[in-house]
Amino acid sequence: MTTHFITAEIDLTESPKQLHQDIEAELEKRGEPLRWAVTETNPETGKAKVEAVVTQDRNA
């Protein structure tokens, strides 16, 4: 297993539930999410910045 710090930008939605799903879906493209948070939002661009640590299998 390896651990990786990553960042992502996610489209803001009106629904916190949808946002949570969108964030996890994006992070899952890059590994198994371990810890993440939205750190900043930009209403003008409609984006949320996310910072995260994900894990990957060594053989992946």
Partner 1 sequence: MTRPYTVVALVPTGIGAEIGGYAGDAIPVARAIAQVCDRLITHPNVLNGAQLYWSQPNVSYVEGYGLDQFAAGRWGLRPVHQNRVGLILDKAIEPDLRLRHLQAADATRATLGLDLTDYVVTDEPLGVSLRTSEAGASWGTLDNPDSLLRAAERSIDRAGAEAIAIVARFPDESGDAFDRYRSGQGVDPIAGAEAVISHLVVRQFQIPAAHAPALSPLPADPSVSPRAAAEELGYTFLPCVLVGLSRAPQFADASTGEEGIVRSRDIDAIVVPETACGGSAILNLSQTAARIVAVRNNQTQMRVPPAALGIRAITVNSYLEALGALVAHRAGISPAALSPHLSPSRPLS
DSSP assignments along the chain, one per residue: -EEEEEEEEEE--S-HHHHHHHHHHHHHTTSEEEEEEEEEEETTTTEEEEEEEEEE-TT-
Q: How far is the CB of 58 from partner 1 (least distance, A)?
A: 8
Binding mask 26-55 for partner 1 (x = CB under 8 A): --------xxxxxxxx-x----xxxx-x-x
Q: How far is the CB of 31 from partner 1 (least distance, A)?
A: 12
4: tokens are 């990786």
Catalog residues that contact partner 1 under the rule CB under 8 A.
Answer: 1-5, 7, 12-17, 19-20, 34-41, 43, 48-51, 53, 55, 58
